[in-house]
Amino acid sequence: MSSIDRRPDPEQLLRRVQAGERRERRGRLKVFLGYASRVGKSFRMFDEGRRRKMRGQDVVVGAVQSAIEPDIEAILSNFEIVPPIIERHAGRTYEVIDLSALFRRHPATVVIDGLAYDNPPGSRNPHRWQDVDELLDRGIAVISAVNLQHIAEKQDEVERITGKRAANSIPQAFLAEADEIEVVDAPPDALIGRPGDTSICDARRLAELREIALLLAADVVEDQLQDYLESHGVTARWGAQERILVCLTPRSSARLMLESGHRNALRFHGALLAAYVESGSLGEEDRRLLESNLGLARELGADVHCLHGEDFVEAILDFAREERVTQLFLGHTGADRRLRLWERNPLERLIEAADGFDVRLFPHEEKS
Amino acid sequence: MSRGRLKVYLGYAAGVGKTYRMLDEAQEMKCHGTDIVIGYFEPHGRQETIAKTEGLELVPRRAVAYGGGKFEEMDTDAILRRQPRVAIVDEFAHTNVPGSERAKRWQDVHTLLDAGIDVLTTMNIQHLESLNDQVYHVTGIRVRETIPDWVVDEADELVLVDLTPRALRNRLERGVVYAPEKAQRAMENFFTEGNLSALREMAMRHTAHEVEEKLSVVPGAEPPGTEAAPAGAPANAGSAPRRERILICLTGRPSSAILIRRGKRVADYLHADCVAIHVAAGQQAFGDDREAVERHMSFARNLRIATHVVHAADVPRAIAEFAREQGVTQIFMGRSAAQPWWKRYQETAVQGIVRHARDMQVTIVAERRR
């Protein structure tokens, strides 16, 4: 159970400052993300290079894909190319970025296609994305492109859809840390029937891949947005993502709320959180019920938090604001009417103060 | 004759390149021999985009006089007479000058589609009706020209035109999007990096949602979201729930618009039915309030929500009874107005509905303020 303690941690602040400094010296990385081959990533990438060149930047090409389409070939003729080194290893041909040549040449921007390529054993770096990392460290900007099937964390999902798994991949974190990521989107119909197309490219599978790529990009953008807001001193409140918080108490209809929250989070591709306000005075039976509710929450993939606070309502409200919650799920007993004129019940206070998020009240289930 | 196909290029702000991309594809279609015309194009003085119209046939706009001024609108009748295979219609969310045959450009587009003409069009995510409050909350800008979600849902293809906020702001700085003075103002107000990122994320999520919706209508497909419980979840956790039915309680209060948009959005995502009710309690059913209620009812119908009016003195009870009759699983209502202290002994509408509808979920929708 994690409790929330958001006091600024000096170590964390220092790390942030250092990361900021490092970022300033580093070259900027821009990645074009596509959901399948032939959506036009490479074209967009080279077109970006061409635009920068037209604006007077020193741009060179460090790697191209082996199969080049005619429209890309036309753009390529505009560029200086630092050819990759061809290496043969155990019967396989590898193209390795010529890092030392690029370091010597030191352009403002390098265009590198095929971000997820692997280098042969014994290379300076096992993977091309690590070569790219070195270029960035030397202050060289990189424009690159990658396909969804090469994002390590998405490979299981992609394999379930296509039945295939790409041998080489890049960690999602590398993509998430890129300064800019741009989605290259196209309807699946546009890909079917193009040259090089095979029968596995049926529209449905492509649509599923397309959805995953769009959501991946949205998640990256969400993180970047929160970073931006935090670093600009804006209290991060609403992003574009639905965030559902289920408030647990020992006697509430936890299963109903959690299952509904889970379903909602899936449908909205949102986040599911569950919170419980520690009050310390639970009987043995209630403690047991609560533990089982928390267990269920975790099984459903909820991010479970235990809150501390004098006042249940304040604790929940603070947490909901901090976590940018958009929907709050709460159980009522149906008998929550206030006892005295001047005292409002917690539910009412919560609803009154719930500015910016919806409150969904769940009926109390009779326990047998 | 079969209905034309609609393809929407979706962006998150002016200047991301929607029109450019649309025209690029139009040129390609023309190369393949497709009979394609420009029905409406808004150049905004953008040279690269204007260059993309070269060689494409243009159907001249129609001049409209209104309030002493002269305006130009798309000449839908002329396009119908010309009967091309495909028409390019920029700015899907545009509102026509009053007195035009149809109030909205999307209605003109529907006329073209009905005549069997395929249409390519452009829009930004902030024009989507159901996101109106969220966009206001994030950007502080209340978008006036909106398109009902169902109109966009019905598009045969939706394509996201993406550009990073940094690149967009560079374009603004270089004066590609607007004239320099306007660009400067835009960058300080709407086109901040925070706003742009949030809108961009909405556009990505919405495109993903539309892709998923299209997947779910494929025969024999599982509706997304109900199927797999995550690995390790209890076996019954993902069992199919009964179909949800959402009831929106309308009043004459301005917050009803927020309620309608939010209720409909949740219903769409949950694949739930959505109905709306207004209970006329007698004494308030006249004057301004009545007019406001009617406006909200017609707004709901525009979003394809069935509306009902019930006359009863006890509002919470009437809502609960109606909900039970209709098999409602979730009631959506606004927050009750704060009661003055001398009325605090009275039950609020929320309390009343919770008391009467103990078997249902009640969602109190917050006003999305800034």
Q: What angle do CA A160, A165, A168 make, to 5 degrees?
A: 145
Q: Distance (Å, rounded) from C-alpha B130 to C-alpha B305?
A: 13
A358: which chain B residues are within 8 Å (Cβ-Cβ)? 262, 363-366
Q: Distance (Å, rounded) from C-alpha A288 to C-alpha B273?
A: 38
- What's the pLDDT at A39? 87
Contacts of B172 (CB under 8 A, 6+ apart): B15, B178, B183, B186, B187, B191
| Residue in A210, A264, A364 nearest the CB of B211 | A210
Average pLDDT, chain A: 85
CB atoms within 10 A of CB B58: 12
Task: Say whether B164 and A232 touch across the interface (CB within 8 A).
Answer: no
Tokens encoding B160 = 């996201």
A88-92, B85-89, B125-129, B242-246: the lowest-pLDDT one: B242-246
Residues 167-196 of A with CB under 8 A from B: 179-187, 189
With 50 as the cut, is the pLDDT of residue B51 above it? yes
Task: Say whether A204 and B354 touch across the interface (CB within 8 A).
Answer: no
B147-156, B158-167, B174-183: the lowest-pLDDT one: B174-183
Task: Say whether A352 and B335 touch across the interface (CB within 8 A).
Answer: yes
A92 touches chain B (CB under 8 A): no
**Residue B43: band (very low, low, confident or very high) from pLDDT cuts 50, 70, 90:** confident
Question: Residue B360, SS3?
Answer: coil
- What's the pLDDT at A113? 93
CB atoms within 10 A of CB A11: 8
**Residue A160: band (very low, low, confident or very high) from pLDDT cuts 50, 70, 90:** very high
A298 touches chain B (CB under 8 A): no
Q: Distance (Å, rounded) from C-alpha B112 to C-alpha B83?
A: 9
| Residue in A218, A260, A356 nearest the CB of B368 | A356
Nearest CA in chain A to B219: A204
- What's the pLDDT at A232? 74
| Residue in B198, B224, B344 nearest the CB of A341 | B344
Q: Distance (Å, rounded) from C-alpha B244 to C-alpha B328?
A: 7
**Residue A9: band (very low, low, confident or very high) from pLDDT cuts 50, 70, 90:** low
Closest CA–CA distance from residue B127 to any residue of chain A (Å): 15
| Residue in A186, A228, A358 nearest the CB of B193 | A228
| Residue in B194, B208, B230 nearest the CB of A225 | B194
**Rounded to whole angstroms, what are the CA distances from A326 to A347, A358, A359, B95?**
17, 6, 9, 31
**Residue A7: band (very low, low, confident or very high) from pLDDT cuts 50, 70, 90:** very low
Task: Say whether A300 and B363 touch across the interface (CB within 8 A).
Answer: no
Closest CA–CA distance from residue B155 to any residue of chain A (Å): 12
% residues pLDDT > 90 (chain B): 62
**Rounded to whole angstroms, what are the CA distances from B104 to A208, B19, B76?**
33, 19, 12
Q: Distance (Å, rounded) from C-alpha A33 to C-alpha A49?
A: 16
B237: which chain A residues are within 8 Å (Cβ-Cβ)? 259, 262, 299-300
Task: Say whether A267 and B270 touch across the interface (CB within 8 A).
Answer: yes
Closest CA–CA distance from residue B239 to any residue of chain A (Å): 9
Residues 314-353 of A with CB under 8 A from B: 332, 334, 336-337, 341-342, 344, 348, 351-352
User: Any bridge partners for residue A347, and if so which?
Assistant: none
Tokens encoding B53 = 């119209």
Task: Say whether B241 and A180 touch across the interface (CB within 8 A).
Answer: no
- What's the pLDDT at B330? 94
- What's the pLDDT at B355? 83
With 60 as the cut, is the pLDDT of residue A16 above it? yes
User: Any bridge partners for residue B157, and if so which?
Assistant: B7
CA A360 to chain centre: 27
With 70 as the cut, is the pLDDT of residue B241 above it? no
- What's the pLDDT at A165? 93
Summary count for chain A: helices (H), strands (E): 12, 14
Average pLDDT, chain B: 87
Contacts of B341 (CB under 8 A, 6+ apart): none
| Residue in B138, B159, B166 nearest the CB of A187 | B159
Instruction: Look up residue A187 and give its amino acid.
Output: P
| Mean pLDDT across A102-107 | 96
Q: How many Cβ contacts (< 8 angstroms) between chains A and B?
A: 172
List, for residues A236-279, the tens digit of each pLDDT value: 556 678 999 999 987 778 888 999 999 999 989 899 999 998 87
A295: which chain B residues are within 8 Å (Cβ-Cβ)? none
% residues pLDDT > 70 (chain B): 88
A344: which chain B residues are within 8 Å (Cβ-Cβ)? 344
| Residue in B215, B345, B360 nearest the CB of A363 | B360
With 60 as the cut, is the pLDDT of residue B235 above it? no
| Residue in A180, A185, A296 nearest the CB of B207 | A185
Closest CA–CA distance from residue A224 to any residue of chain B (Å): 8
A356: which chain B residues are within 8 Å (Cβ-Cβ)? 137, 366, 368-369
B193: which chain A residues are within 8 Å (Cβ-Cβ)? 228
Closest CA–CA distance from residue B75 to any residue of chain A (Å): 29
With 90 as the cut, is the pLDDT of residue A345 above it? no
Task: Say whether A218 and B208 touch across the interface (CB within 8 A).
Answer: yes
What is the longest distance spanned by two Cα atoms in chain A? 85
- What's the pLDDT at B361? 92
